[in-house]
């Protein structure tokens, strides 16, 4: 019974978890696919680095082509990260007839359509479940479990770092800077956290989810709004609580008819919404289908073993296809042409916090601006600012188009009674 041979690119946090699972679950893998699995070679940058997992020295290499060009290797697992060089390595692996499993959401968001096309042409599998939401099987659920349904909306927390930071800020009133430092110390945030805290990581994941959920080629550049959490203030969170909301960095992919919207931004959710109770580094994705209704996928969004579990599950899928002789046949090209919503077709409620001159008629001027665009208010707070001739007004609007709302924001900044528009956030969940 010939073993299926694996080449592993990367032996960091996730790569170490892959080694552990393959070694410790051999009986389970043998039961699942009827043959053993062996890790034949492992690519590392530094041969001498101390690691948490043991790999025989003769299996370790610093030359990627020792893996790509090895005719004995059936499957390449990529967990080393990177975009352009990694794309070339995986293309060469596919062109040499090797199946590919990757956890690289950056790569799949930027070059996924090309890699999938080449995989299909070569009759190879390319699976990437671990690229979104770590150990949550969301991609497989969209492709297989919900294949017969028409997905209309996906909304969720897909970045554990920002969710950890916002949880601590909301619960304990901690500052952004101190919670970020704690997240870095615990390994939830990178030394350079920009991709996470400015929303780019979540945007890449949402483009992947939208492509699969809507069967439409959605690229990273199609994510209309990408905003992070670094500008969220303590006052924003206090007012959110006072008004019955919880702040989360929400990825949203919404379809109406044939047109879609994809965005990532700090969003206020009612405290009663299930996503409001998803805390710390956990991820969760709400999926709305025409037939199934609402479903929610919840679990650890990162970490060695949760992500490695998704990687090895993809490996099992490849191995089952190898035994059946159907590799490459599960790749389905997008069904629909890409059609993005215009700003006038995107609707939401909005939270606005502004500082105005504390004088008679100031609020009436502001109300008139919103009324001109037929935008009314759901909630209003007005408070004097201490030791100042200014007042603070906090508004939550009823539903408005993004086009009208952006015009209102510009007009607010231009009128004399408004000193400053301090913040503005989308409000989702239970929209009326």
pLDDT in the model for residue 319: 93
pLDDT at 431: 42
Alpha-carbon torsion 300, 303, 308, 314, what sign?
positive
pLDDT at 1: 64
Is 3 buried (19+), middle (13-18) or exposed (0-12) by CB count in 10 A?
Answer: middle
Q: Is residue 429 pLDDT above 90, yes or no?
A: no
For domain 138-300, the CATH architecture is 2-Layer Sandwich (3.30)
Q: What is the pLDDT of residues 335-348, one digit of tens each?
A: 899 999 999 999 99
What CATH number does the domain located at 4-134+304-324 have?
A: 3.40.50.720
> Torsions phi, psi of 308, nearest 5?
-65, -35
Q: Which residue in 98, 205, 341, 349 is the catalytic one?
A: 205
Mean pLDDT of 29-33: 87
What pLDDT, in 10s, does the model give residues 284-338? Answer: 999 999 999 999 999 887 777 888 999 999 999 999 999 888 888 877 678 899 9
Q: What is the pLDDT of residue 432?
A: 39
Q: Over the stretch 193-205, which tens digit does the pLDDT of each residue have?
A: 999 999 999 999 9
Share of the chain above pLDDT 90, in %: 76
**Fold of the 343-427 domain:** Alpha-Beta Plaits (3.30.70)
Break the chain into its structural domains and give their ranges: 4-134+304-324, 138-300, 343-427
pTM for the full predicted model? 0.90
Catalytic annotation present for 205: yes
- What's the pLDDT tens digit per position in 395-415? 999 999 999 999 999 999 999
> Please, what is the average pLDDT of the chain?
92
Q: Is the pLDDT of residue 118 over 50?
A: yes
Q: What is the pLDDT of residue 362?
A: 87
Confidence at residue 333, expressed as pLDDT on a 0 to 100 scale: 73
- Categorize the per-residue pLDDT at 430 as very low, low, confident or very high, splitting at 50, 70 and 90: low
């Amino acid at each position: 019974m010939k073993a299926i041979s694996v080449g592993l690119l990367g032996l960091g946090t996730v790569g170490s978890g892959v080694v552990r699972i393959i070694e410790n679950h051999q009986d389970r893998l043998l039961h699942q696919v009827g043959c053993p699995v062996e890790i034949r070679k492992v690519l590392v940058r530094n041969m001498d680095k101390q690691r948490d997992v043991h790999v025989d020295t003769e299996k370790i290499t610093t030359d990627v082509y020792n893996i790509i060009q090895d005719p004995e290797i059936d499957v390449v697992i990529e967990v080393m990260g990177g975009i352009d060089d990694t794309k070339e390595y995986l293309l060469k692996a596919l062109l040499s007839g090797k199946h590919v499993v990757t956890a690289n959401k950056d790569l799949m968001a930027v070059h996924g359509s090309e890699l999938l096309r080449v995989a299909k042409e070569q009759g190879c599998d390319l699976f990437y479940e671990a690229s979104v939401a770590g150990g949550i099987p969301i991609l497989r659920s969209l492709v297989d479990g919900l294949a017969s349904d028409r997905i209309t909306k996906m909304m969720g927390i897909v970045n554990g770092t920002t969710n950890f930071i916002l949880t601590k800020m909301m619960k304990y009133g901690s500052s952004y800077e101190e919670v970020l430092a704690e997240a870095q110390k615990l390994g939830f945030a990178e030394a350079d956290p920009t991709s996470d805290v400015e929303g780019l990581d979540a945007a890449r994941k949402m483009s992947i989810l939208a492509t699969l959920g809507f069967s439409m080629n959605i690229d990273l550049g199609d994510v209309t709004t990408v905003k992070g959490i670094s500008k969220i203030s303590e006052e924003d969170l206090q007012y959110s609580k006072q008004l019955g909301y919880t702040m989360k960095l929400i990825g949203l992919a919404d379809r109406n008819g044939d047109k879609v919207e994809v965005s990532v931004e700090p969003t206020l959710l009612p405290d009663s919404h299930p996503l409001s109770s998803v805390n710390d580094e956990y991820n969760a994705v709400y999926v709305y289908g025409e037939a199934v209704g609402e479903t929610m996928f919840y679990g650890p969004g990162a970490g060695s073993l949760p992500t490695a579990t998704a990687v090895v599950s993809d490996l099992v899928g490849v191995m089952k296809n190898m035994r059946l002789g159907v590799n490459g046949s599960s790749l389905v090209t997008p069904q629909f042409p890409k059609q993005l919503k215009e700003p006038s077709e995107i609707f939401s409620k909005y939270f606005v916090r502004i500082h105005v001159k504390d004088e008679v008629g100031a609020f009436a001027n502001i109300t008139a601006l919103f009324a001109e665009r037929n935008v009314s208010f759901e909630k209003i707070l007005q408070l004097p600012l201490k030791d100042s001739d200014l007042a603070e007004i906090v508004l939550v609007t009823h539903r408005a188009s993004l086009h009208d709302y952006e015009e209102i924001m510009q007009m607010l900044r231009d009128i004399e009674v408004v000193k400053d528009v301090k913040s503005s956030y989308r409000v989702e969940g239970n929209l009326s």
